[in-house]
Amino acid sequence: MPDIIAREEGRRFFGSDPQAYDRARPGHPDRVYEILAERCRLGAGTGVLEIGPGTGQATRRLLDLGADPLVAIEPNDDLADYLALTLGDRVDIRLTPLESAELREASVDLTAAASSFHWVDEAVGLTALWRALRPGGWIALWWTLFGEGAGPDAFIRATSPLLENLDSSPTKGDPGRPPHALDTKARIGALGAADFTDVSHDLVRWDATWDTEGIRALYGTFSPILRLEPARRKKILDEIARIAAQQFGGRVSRTLTTSLYTARKPAAD
């Protein structure tokens, strides 16, 4: 049975090549940001606290939709440097894990985490975000998953023998349970235990396409592959590229699933 990658180890992976990660990852669907605007009241002048912004894919969308100010909690030095380089003073970057961040109480309107909250101690992190939110403020946690649709797609079936026995990311969940992002009972229960109300779960399915170089780069951003020693990593990625080129004509289309949880801190009486 594969081991789960430790939280501290996982936080280090994605800063090894921020530019490559930024290019390879497809971001998140427009519907997520529509929900943030419609339900969570994201707009001009919304104070936002983002957890684990990584290369800033979601950060840029939050800024475009009016987030101001935007505070970003990023524990990885290299990713924090990349954010500073690409976003400058548009974001207040705090180099710290959420669990040890010093956050001003009742200071933001929205807290958000895009494909990052599985690297946080859930109970501790939710308590910290509840305190940081103003009464009536919202929390939004979402993950974009590859291959969690109705069943394994053709590319998963073709490449799965290469990926057997690789250690798992926490997004895969415990054996016998749904993946972390799709374990609605656990995620909704945790939000309720942290005193959030009006909890909702939305599933958004959408399509993305990569060429051979792009799909190789995408797989190179997955944590079970990132942690491999270089020679084995290269061998797997080269074989993924070969399969994409020879079996899929150099064009791989996949249906992705984004799992979004939103909830609200009760308004003051």
- Identify the pLDDT of residue 146: 83
176: pLDDT confidence band, cut at 50, 70 and 90? low
| pLDDT higher than threshold 80 for residue 175 | no
| pLDDT higher than threshold 70 for residue 199 | yes
Helices (H) and strands (E) in the chain, counts: 11, 7
250: pLDDT confidence band, cut at 50, 70 and 90? very high
Asked, for residue 240, whether it belongs to a domain, the answer is no
3: pLDDT confidence band, cut at 50, 70 and 90? very low
- Identify the pLDDT of residue 246: 97
Higher pLDDT, 14 or 228: 228
| pLDDT higher than threshold 70 for residue 169 | no
Q: Specify the CATH number for the domain of residue 198.
A: 3.40.50.150
Asked, for residue 223, whether it belongs to a domain, the answer is no
Whole domain around residue 199: which residue ranges? 7-147+177-209+256-264
- Identify the pLDDT of residue 93: 97
- Identify the pLDDT of residue 264: 98
- Identify the pLDDT of residue 13: 55
Strand ranges (DSSP E) for 61-125? 67-74, 92-95, 108-114
Q: What is the dihedral of CA 215, 220, 221, 225, to 10 degrees?
A: 130
Percent of all residues in the chain with a pLDDT value above 90, rounded to a whole number: 76
CA 84 to chain centre: 19
Asked, for residue 217, whether it belongs to a domain, the answer is no
Asked, for residue 77, whether it belongs to a domain, the answer is yes
- Identify the pLDDT of residue 269: 65
Question: HSE on the CB side for 132, CA within 13 Å?
Answer: 28
- Identify the pLDDT of residue 164: 83
Tens of pLDDT, residue by residue over 85-106, are: 999 999 999 999 999 999 999 9
Q: Per-residue pLDDT averaged across 169-183, rounded?
A: 72
Asked, for residue 57, whether it belongs to a domain, the answer is yes
Asked, for residue 139, whether it belongs to a domain, the answer is yes
Q: State the Cα–Cα distance between residues 211 and 224, nearest whole angstrom.
A: 22
1: pLDDT confidence band, cut at 50, 70 and 90? very low
Listed ranges 13-27, 146-160, 190-204; the one with the highest mean pLDDT: 190-204
Q: Per-residue pLDDT averaged across 159-168, rounded?
A: 80
Percent of all residues in the chain with a pLDDT value above 70, rounded to a whole number: 88
178: pLDDT confidence band, cut at 50, 70 and 90? confident
Cβ-contact 83, 91 below 8 angstroms: yes
Asked, for residue 90, whether it belongs to a domain, the answer is yes
Instruction: Reduce the DSSP state of residue 112 to 3 states and report it.
Output: strand
- Counted domains in the chain: 1
Q: Taking the model in full, what pTM does it have?
A: 0.89
Tens of pLDDT, residue by residue over 39-69, are: 999 999 999 999 999 999 999 999 999 999 9
Asked, for residue 38, whether it belongs to a domain, the answer is yes
